[in-house]
């Protein structure tokens, strides 16, 4: 078995020394986990997860040797996982059948993937949106519609094999187009598309949804995403279509409160329609899928949290229709090398996964378009970062792609399921 013991220990020694000198703010639990991961074989998953936590703590002001050591630990963990990524589950809510599909995905030795239905979890409402607890075996689902003050949702606790243990219903203030947890898993955040509300709920120590503790509405419809920054200090709300805007807030990780930044609107270029976002794992850079413009917008994030537009990267290759197409989800690989975004051909045969290379300075270069089933909507990476999963909203399919070292996508599996499944998570 490949092991990263020697080079990882060298990196860890440096980081540990800096920690003792209080240059790096490591927590005791993180120190223990990372120490274990570099002194035991077969611990690639733990190593990569610890490196992810370090990436969230890392700042551009850290010495270059420190930043390179953290990235090296991350790449070692990711490299080891390529050789032996464990089976994982895919969870996807179906609004047409009131179920959450549970799919077991098994990577094979030749780099392909097998997909099989493991369970269908029945619910008494129409679920559309989903997110996953990063540490506890829980997924959260909500409707994307519902009456104000009585929009149904549920926290689904999972057994060790990934199947349902229990369904704990909760009532939301609104239906949500996007769900996320803050970086300390103390709050559940929801973004409402129809009326533009952003709601924040408390989570107890067991991950159960509590009271609505914060809500805001700027009088704009079409709010599409709410995802806290890696340092848990900022939140950005993108608005698509005619309400084209990008609002910026300070987030209080102790209380869950939001407060506007000095400049509320980052003023995205006209006609871009920022939709979903992804954070670079080590640089203070954000990427937005442009729902109307189809490409990707790149923003620099200052220490204050304020965003500044740096680049709008257009598509290359076949000319896109001027209307009847839109971008969907976006994600970045854990090592920060590649970016992927969905393109939906609502009125045309123009359905693709758009591929980008992330350059050293954080800007992106368009690599090309990979064909997808009709209306690729939601995207997710496998836990090891080797596979891209996508939903075919109109086609009723789950697509799986293998990510190459060059950022290409190779279709390796397809599973038929309900139509109108948009969102998915893996764990």
> Residue 335 is part of a domain; what is its CATH number?
2.130.10.10
Q: Do 357 and 418 belong to one domain?
A: yes
Question: Rounded to an integer, what distance in angstroms lies between the CA atom of residue 418 and that of residue 117?
Answer: 12
Report, as an integer, the average pLDDT of 408-420: 98
Do 306 and 324 reside in the same domain of the chain? Answer: yes
- Same domain for 218 and 128, yes or no, is yes
Residues 109 and 65 in one domain: no
Residue 73 has pLDDT above 80, yes or no: no
> Which structural domain range is residue 61 located in?
5-83
248 and 340 inside one domain? yes
* Bridge partner list, 88: 105
More confident residue, 229 or 63: 229
Q: State whether 162 and 59 are in the same domain.
A: no
CA distance 123 to 93: 10
Buried b (16+ CB within 10 A) or exposed e, 311-325: bbbebeeeebeeeeb
- The verdict on 372 and 255 lying in the same domain is yes
Number of domains in the chain: 2
- What's the whole-model pTM score? 0.82
- Residues in a beta bridge with 99: 94, 122
* pLDDT at residue 182, as a whole number: 98
Residue 60 pLDDT > 60 = no
State mean pLDDT over 55-67.
Answer: 56
Residue 218: closest CA among 245, 200, 240: 245
Q: Are residues 28 and 115 in the same domain?
A: no
| Judgement on whether residues 163 and 66 belong to the same structural domain of the protein | no
């Amino acid at each position: 078995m490949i092991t990263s013991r020697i080079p990882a220990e060298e990196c860890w020694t440096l980081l540990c020394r800096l920690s003792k000198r209080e240059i790096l703010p490591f927590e005791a639990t993180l120190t223990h986990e990372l120490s274990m991961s570099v002194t035991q074989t077969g611990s690639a998953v733990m190593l990569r997860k610890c490196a992810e936590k370090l990436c969230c703590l890392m700042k551009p002001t850290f010495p270059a040797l420190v930043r390179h050591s953290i990235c090296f630990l991350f790449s070692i963990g990711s490299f080891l996982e390529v050789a032996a990524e464990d089976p994982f589950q895919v969870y996807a809510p179906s609004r047409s059948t009131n179920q959450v599909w549970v799919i077991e995905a098994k990577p094979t030795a030749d780099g392909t993937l097998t997909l099989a239905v493991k369970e269908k979890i029945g619910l008494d409402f129409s679920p559309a949106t989903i997110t996953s607890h990063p540490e506890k075996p829980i997924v959260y689902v909500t409707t994307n519609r519902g009456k104000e003050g009585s929009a149904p949702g549920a926290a689904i606790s999972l057994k060790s094999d990934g199947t349902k243990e229990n369904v704990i219903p909760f009532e939301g203030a609104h239906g949500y187009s996007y769900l996320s947890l803050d970086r300390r898993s103390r709050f559940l955040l929801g973004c409402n598309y129809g009326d533009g509300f952003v709601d924040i709920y408390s989570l107890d120590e067991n991950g159960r949804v509590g009271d609505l503790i914060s809500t805001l509405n700027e009088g704009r419809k079409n709010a599409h995403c709410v995802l806290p920054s890696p340092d848990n200090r900022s939140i950005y709300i993108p608005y698509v279509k005619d309400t084209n805007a990008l609002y910026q807030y300070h987030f209080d990780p102790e209380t869950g409160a939001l407060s506007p930044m000095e400049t509320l609107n980052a003023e995205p270029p006209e006609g871009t329609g920022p939709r979903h976002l992804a954070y670079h794992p080590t640089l203070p850079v954000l990427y937005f899928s442009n729902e109307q413009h189809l490409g990707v917008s790149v923003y620099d994030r200052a220490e204050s949290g304020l965003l500044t537009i740096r680049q709008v990267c257009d598509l290359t290759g076949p000319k896109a229709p001027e209307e009847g197409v839109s971008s969907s989800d976006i994600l970045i690989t854990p090592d920060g090398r590649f970016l992927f975004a969905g393109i939906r051909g609502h009125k045309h045969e123009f359905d693709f996964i758009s591929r980008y290379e992330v350059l050293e300075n954080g800007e992106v270069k368009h690599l090309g378009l990979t064909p997808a089933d009709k209306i690729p909507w939601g995207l997710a990476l496998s836990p090891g970062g080797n596979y891209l999963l996508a939903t075919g909203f109109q086609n009723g399919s789950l697509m799986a792609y293998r990510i190459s070292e060059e950022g290409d996508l190779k279709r390796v599996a397809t599973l038929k399921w309900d139509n109108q499944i948009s969102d998915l998570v893996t764990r």
